[in-house]
Amino acid sequence: MNIIEVKNLSKKFHDFAAVNDVSFNVAEGEIFAFLGPNGAGKSTTIKMLTTLLHPTRGEITLNGFDPQKDSNSVRHSFGIVFQDPSLDDDLTAWENMEFHSVLYKVPKAIRAERIEKMLKFVDLWDRKDSLVKEFSGGMKRRLEIGRGLLHNPKILFLDEPTLGLDPQTRNHMWNYLRELNKTEKMTIFFTTHYMEEADKIAQKIAVIDHGKIVAMGTSAELKEQTKSDTLEAAFLALTGKDIREDSGSSLDTMRRMHRSRMGLKK
Amino acid sequence: MSTIYILWLRQIKRYYRSKSRMIGSLSQPLLFLVSLSFGFGSTFQKAGQGDYTEFLAPGIVAMSIIFSAIFFGIEIIWDRQFGFLKETLVAPVSRLEIMVGRTLGGATVATCQGIIVFFISMLIGFRIDNWSAFLPAVFVMFLIATLFTALGTMIASFMEDMHGFQLIMNFLVMPLFFLSGALFPIEGLPKGGAVLVACDPLSYGVDALRSLLTGVSHYGLGLDLVVLTLTTIIFLILGGYFFSKIEV
């Protein structure tokens, strides 16, 4: 059964087609990866799936609901870990979790128990009363994962989840998520640049470039299709070797400001 | 706990957890208060206008409120990319609830700033006529705070980064403050000046505060309250509308 169905999805910003007639399906319980160079349209697609952006054209069905017509039902169906941190640094880990549980209408009676369970799951229970600004990058990611799962969603979206994390943390994180996928049949949809990650973890991969899906299949199928040994070689074969022209957007400036503000803490 | 309450609570927690930010944002109003009242005090007195400290204090209270409220708007721009706003936008709550919770929280914080400035101005000699006017004055402060928090939210809904905000600060907020009669009496202004001041919603807020705290009023307390309330409602509606259109 498909838990996400996307048909002819497009998003245009003025004249620029960020996402251009994209179609794909994700089966329930599948680990699905979106692979693509900078500016390919990965984040834009996720934003449309998660009700943050309105598509220009096309249909999306997520857990049986349409994000445009039934946005709240869609929102209850997924959790998301964004590329840029979305925690409140001035609140404690517990307070961040509590905030989320109120927003997602987790019943008051089970709130504390659910928060405790998730904090323990991501190994942050002993830091529940610490302010998030004191956490390392890896701890923040873990907290975001715990938070995203608090309302028992069917799908977890992760946008470049391991960017900037050290190998141990990355390994830990994927272990949690694979556990979750196995035991709860949670669907995981993630975007990444890291080929080994996509290779080792994803069950189905879609390669997106210039807003279009150029290839889709298992890692083995993609390698077969491009007669390559590694997923990286397959990817380069599919998307070309040119470095992507990426203009320094105001987002990049803000990212730099944010990094210096955080004192280059990882 | 409802959505609005928890959003409000979040603003409050962020405020009192950052003592340095609190003190820092009080420094400018207090600098104005102390330097201007000591500087112009005797001149004002000689011009037959009375005690400048008494005249100035309500204006400075309004200053601290407007600055605090508009800075709250900056938070949205930052939050939009780095924080918390995305978490709220992706949650199954209406944009209206988010906006109301944040605005009330921001307005409460700005009002607290105003109250603190009020008490500090008492340290340099400001005296209130009648303590029963204190609570109504706090209500007026809250009204001013809500107006400018909503305005800040509305403006921030259009901005993608911080640079535009500097422009807004210099070309909108500063004129709003300086043309509000906070620092100088409205009586005796040349016609053009008087018109500008009358177009500034903050003028009515300052006048209302002055009326309640010192008994002196240019427009009349009734008119002040009507204009303030109407403008606040308009900006709340506009702010809410534009906030609901934010795309991340």
Verify whether the Cβ–Cβ distance B14 to A251 is below 8 Å.
no
Q: What is the pTM of this model?
A: 0.84
- Min distance A97 CA to chain B CA atoms (Å): 11
Average pLDDT for chain B: 87
Calculate the CA dihedral of residues B109, B114, B116, B117 and round it to 10 degrees.
140
Q: Which residues pair with residue A57 across a beta bridge?
A: A10
* Ramachandran category for residue A243: left, alpha or beta (phi over 0 → left; psi -120 to 50 → alpha): beta
Q: CB of B248 within 8 Å of any CB in chain A?
A: yes
Q: Which residues pair with residue A34 across a beta bridge?
A: A191, A206
> What ipTM describes this predicted complex?
0.82
pLDDT tens digit at each of 266 positions of chain A:
899 999 999 999 888 888 999 999 999 999 999 988 878 888 899 999 999 888 999 999 999 999 989 989 999 999 999 888 889 988 999 999 999 999 999 999 999 999 999 999 888 999 999 999 999 888 998 899 999 999 999 999 998 888 878 888 888 888 888 988 999 899 999 998 788 888 889 999 999 988 999 899 998 888 888 888 888 888 888 887 766 665 555 566 666 666 665 554 44
Tokens standing for residue A240:
């070309």
Residue in the block written with tokens 């809904």: B157
Verify whether the Cβ–Cβ distance B91 to A75 is below 8 Å.
yes
Which CATH class name applies to A2-88+135-261? alpha beta
Cβ neighbours of residue B111 under 8 Å, at least 6 residues apart? B65, B138, B141, B142, B145
Write down the domain spans for chain B: 3-244
pLDDT tens for B205-239 read 999 998 888 888 888 888 999 999 999 999 999 98
Burial-class residue A128 by CB neighbours within 10 Å (0-12, 13-18, 19+). middle
DSSP A186: -
Verify whether the Cβ–Cβ distance B92 to A80 is below 8 Å.
no
Q: CB of B91 within 8 Å of any CB in chain A?
A: yes
pLDDT in the model for residue A264: 45
* Ramachandran category for residue B54: left, alpha or beta (phi over 0 → left; psi -120 to 50 → alpha): alpha
Contact list in B for residue A103 (CB cut-off 8 A) is: 3, 6, 87-88, 91-93
pLDDT at B52 over 60: yes
Q: CB of B49 within 8 Å of any CB in chain A?
A: no
Question: Which of B81, B86, B92 lies at the smallest CB-CB distance from A75?
Answer: B92
Query: How many CB pairs below 8 Å do chains A and B form together?
Result: 80
Query: For chain A, how far is it from start to end, CA to CA, in angstroms?
Result: 40
pLDDT in the model for residue B110: 93
Q: CB of B16 within 8 Å of any CB in chain A?
A: no
Write down the domain spans for chain A: 2-88+135-261
pLDDT in the model for residue B227: 92
